[in-house]
Structure formats: C-alpha cells, structure tokens
Amino acid sequence: MRTIVITGASAGIGAAIARRLGRDGNRVALAARRAEELQAVANEIGGGAIAVIADVTRRADVERLRDEALRAFGSIDVWINNAGRGISRPVLELSDEDFDEMMTVNVKSALYGMQAVVPYFIERGGGHLINISSFLGRVPIASHRSAYNAAKAALNALTANLRADVASTGVNVSLVMPGLVATEFARNVIGTAAGAAPPWTPGAAMKPQMAEEVADAVAELIERPRAEVYTNPASPEMARRYFESLASP
C-alpha cells in the first residue's frame, strides 16, 4: 500500500488515475478546486481517499496539500502533478493573459508540487514524482494549442533537470506524455475550438485513448519506474517521424 497525492483529480485523467490507484488498495489524497466533483471521486474510492480543496496555482495551497496528506496518512510515497488546462489560439493571437495562464496552470503548479514534496522525498531517502505532460510538449503539431504546447515543453525540461539533480538520492522522477485522450479537457480550453489540421500530418491519425488507459499506464509506471512514458502506442513512431521531417532538406 502506498500513499499517493494526485492534483487535478476531480475529472478526466486525474479522476481516472485516482480511481485506478484507489482500486489497487493505495491511499490517495486528491486535490482540485471543484469541491463537489472532487468529493464525489473521493466518495467513490472510499475510506482510503481524502479530498483536499486546493488551487494548485497557489504555492500555499500546494504546501497545505502536502501537509494534509502527511497528517492523514503519515507519509507520501508518490506525488502526481496532473492539473492542467489547454488553449485554442494560434501564436500570433496570444495575449499576455493567455500565455501567463498556460504557464501558471501547466508549469508553475507542477513546480510548486516538485518543490513541496521532493525535499521530503530526499530526506526520507526515496519517493516518486510523476509529472503528467502531453505528447504536444514533445511534438507540437497542433498549432492552435500554441502556449499549451510551450508550457508542456517547459514542464518536460524542468522534469529532466530535476531528474538529473536527484539522480543520487533514491528519488524517481518520471514524465508521462498522453496523446489524444477522450475527456472533457477540450471543453475547458481558453478560446474557440479550432478545426484546422496540424502543420505536419502523420501517415495515420493517433487513435484517441480513454482516460482509464492513461491511468493504467501510470499504475504500471509506479510499479516499474521509468524516466519517460508515452501512453499512446503510436506516439514514439510519430515523434521519430516528426523530428526526421524537421531534418529533411
């Protein structure tokens, strides 16, 4: 049995991860801003779950989440930074507010989580930090996601830097990159949904995954830690072909 903290756990991938890990017998501390939805997920899991209403774009809320998880369960074994938000606006139409929102929700919230829990992991001699990124952070083919792609690329870099920093401490640092996932995520993006095709089109479209498939990949990652995981089987080949296309004359 592990104690696992999951941010952005009121819906979508976060809720699916919470349900899967709770079903596996883990104790889970769930965080999100929407109290009713978050408590419903915790109630579904049962006595091994607590709901912590928190805005993870606020450092104090993230530190309180850590403290409440420790108070409830006595330890933290895994911390999953999952909270995020998208945008549907091309680069030339981005406002300062758009860009700041993407960086705050997708990068700074994860940074706060890393800084809140990793020193604790180092002190106890072990732990697992998991950042949920996106395939678009590695292969930015959906140009209307613009600042979201940029934010996830920044998260990828911070994750790699942290992994190097803690390499000798016994702390695992992992990056998870889902592709297209069938959730309500697209309904909550900033801006109007764009139907334009990406500037680079692979030979075959990436098949959407269910959130439960991503949750299964995260559960497997916790059992067998790795540096990076693409949850969609098509992603590695698509990434390879994308970078080859950039190198072509």
Q: Mean pLDDT throughout 20-26?
A: 97
Q: Residue 203 above 60 pLDDT?
A: no
Residues in the chain: 249
DSSP for residue 108: I
Contact between residue 109 and residue 56 where contact means Cβ atoms under 8 Å apart:
yes
Q: Residue 195 above 70 pLDDT?
A: no
C-alpha closest to that of 82 among 144, 155, 170: 155
Per-residue pLDDT at 191: 80
DSSP for residue 24: T
Burial of 40 (0-12, 13-18, 19+ CB in 10 A): middle
Alpha helix stretches (DSSP H) within the chain: 12-23, 35-45, 59-73, 96-103, 109-124, 146-165, 211-223, 235-247
pLDDT band at 180 (very low <50, low <70, confident <90, very high): confident
Consecutive H or E run containing 4: strand 3-7
Contact between residue 178 and residue 232 where contact means Cβ atoms under 8 Å apart:
yes
Per-residue pLDDT at 239: 93
Please name the amino acid found at residue 164: A
pLDDT band at 196 (very low <50, low <70, confident <90, very high): very low
- Whole-model pTM: value is 0.92
> What are the residue numbers of the active site?
148
Taking the C-alpha atoms of residue 24 and residue 249, their distance in angstroms, rounded to an integer, is 50
| Higher pLDDT pick, 197 / 67 | 67
Burial of 149 (0-12, 13-18, 19+ CB in 10 A): buried
Taking the C-alpha atoms of residue 64 and residue 61, their distance in angstroms, rounded to an integer, is 5
pLDDT band at 208 (very low <50, low <70, confident <90, very high): confident
Please name the amino acid found at residue 211: A
Q: Residue 184 above 80 pLDDT?
A: no
Q: 2-16, 82-96, 127-141, 171-185: which range is least confident on average?
A: 171-185
Could you give the domains of the chain?
3-247 (3.40.50.720)
Q: Any idea what the Cα angle at residue 51 is, between residues 60 and 54, rounded to 5°?
A: 25
Q: Residue 8 above 90 pLDDT?
A: yes
